Amino acid sequence: MTTHAPDEQLDADRLDQLWDFADPGGSAQRFRAELAAGPSPSASAELVTQLARALGLQGSFDGADELLDGVHTEGLLPAVAVRVALERGRLRNSSGRRDEAVPFFSEALDRARAGGEDFLAVDAAHMLAIADEGNAQQWTRLALGLIDASDEPRTARWSGALHNNLGWALHDAGDPGAALLEFSAAREAYEATGTPEQQRVARWTVARCLRSLGRTAEALDIQQRLHESGPEDGYVSEELGELYLAGGDPDRAAPHFAAAAELLGADTWLVENEPDRLERLRELSAG
């Protein structure tokens, strides 16, 4: 009698090794190579969903959807159907069709919770907060609740990003006091499990919120330490300029605004989406 190895889920650590979100083309090549190695049926199907995600990040939305059309979930592990729904939603969200994305993310959330897929449930709730912007705080708080209820270390690593997102939602809604609590929680999470860059950004964010609260001395202390520890950072320079300006010292602010204008002027997204911000930096750099 012929026996078959049990179906297995895609190894999460291996998936993290294959992904480089800054290089979706290279990630796609690695997914294809992994598929050629002949993993289990469920792992193969999950890899196809990640290949589709990589194609979507390269703007090939139709090609990615066609790949997902070929994934048959019947008889496979629950994570496969979750990932199919997640990636269909991400494709629509990335192509500007947020309303169409929401039902897919909702499906992914329901399937993940039913299947005990904590990490993917948090991912789905996080994507709902992006696509269903009017209910972003609700979805983010749900995601944080899912983290609290989970005992998976990988799921816990979502905490920093979600506290940060909730912090910005509260800050932009005009509640910097509540935002500071979330930014501080994000900093603590990143200090525990984050990369050095994530920890640096978290400290910058706390300082930015302190400026909104008028606590400029505390904010200045943090930004100065970030500036001194390097690397050169346009956002840190911008904040130093704003803090010195708020303190009535435009001459001391000017060189920081000049550095920020030069560094941030190389950011294509800022050039396209926030030209007034860059122009203000150039104007203030004159002192």
CATH of the domain at 104: 1.25.40.10
226 within domain boundaries: no
Note whether 43 and 109 are same-domain residues: yes
57 within domain boundaries: yes
C-alpha to C-alpha distance for 267 and 67, rounded to whole angstroms: 33
170 within domain boundaries: yes
10 within domain boundaries: no
Note the pLDDT of residue 141.
Answer: 97
The domain tally of the chain equals: 3
Note the pLDDT of residue 227.
Answer: 96
Q: Which pairs from 85-90 meet CB under 8 Å and 24+ separation?
A: 85/111, 85/124, 86/49, 86/120, 86/123, 86/124, 86/127, 87/49, 87/50, 87/52, 87/53, 87/56, 89/124, 89/127, 89/131, 90/53, 90/56, 90/127
8 within domain boundaries: no
Note the pLDDT of residue 286.
Answer: 85
Note whether 23 and 140 are same-domain residues: yes
Note the pLDDT of residue 41.
Answer: 95
Note whether 107 and 199 are same-domain residues: no
223 within domain boundaries: no
2 within domain boundaries: no
Note the pLDDT of residue 5.
Answer: 56
Note whether 178 and 107 are same-domain residues: no
Structural domain span for residue 190: 160-218
DSSP letter at 132 equals S
40 within domain boundaries: yes
pTM of the model: 0.89
C-alpha to C-alpha distance for 196 and 48, rounded to whole angstroms: 32
Note whether 150 and 262 are same-domain residues: no
Note whether 242 and 144 are same-domain residues: no
Both structure tokens of 45: 């199907």
C-alpha to C-alpha distance for 100 and 102, rounded to whole angstroms: 6
C-alpha to C-alpha distance for 121 and 83, rounded to whole angstroms: 10
Note whether 212 and 249 are same-domain residues: no
**Boundary of a domain, candidates 113, 133, 156:** 156
**Boundary of a domain, candidates 133, 156, 179:** 156
Note whether 28 and 125 are same-domain residues: yes
Note whether 188 and 148 are same-domain residues: no
Token pair 């329901």 in the structure block, residue: 110
Note the pLDDT of residue 7.
Answer: 87
Note whether 266 and 240 are same-domain residues: yes
Note the pLDDT of residue 1.
Answer: 40
**Boundary of a domain, candidates 139, 156, 173:** 156
C-alpha to C-alpha distance for 127 and 104, rounded to whole angstroms: 10
Note whether 90 and 24 are same-domain residues: yes
Residue among 13, 15, 26 at smallest CA distance from 49: 15
Which residues, given as ranges, of the chain have pLDDT below 70?
A: 1-5
